[in-house]
Amino acid sequence: MDDDDLDFARQVIDAVVDGRVRIREAPGRSETTLTLRDGSTVMSRGWSLPDGGLVPRPGWRSRADVRECAPYR
């Protein structure tokens, strides 16, 4: 690991501890967004069969349940 990797890992940990995490969940789909200290975002999306299908249903994100994670502090 180089210094950039360690810096990124620290930013991710800080975002989780500070509660800057948004999770969207719908049948077969999920999306997790972290907002880093500088305002940039890191997003991860996932899906599962059979609910998620191979192609997402249009508008799934607008119908998804959204959770804002609370800070740990």
Chain CA centroid to CA 59, Å: 18
- In this predicted structure, what is the pLDDT of residue 19? 96
Q: For residue 65, is pLDDT > 80?
A: yes
Q: How many domains, in total, are found in the chain?
A: 1
Backbone angles phi, psi at 19, to 5 degrees: 80, 25
Q: Identify the H or E element spanning 57.
A: none
* Tens-digit pLDDT profile for residues 3-51: 899 999 999 999 999 999 999 999 889 999 999 999 999 999 988 877 7
pTM, rounded to two decimals = 0.83
Domain contains 73: no
Domain contains 12: yes
For residue 41, what are the domain limits? 3-68
d(CA 3, CA 49): 38
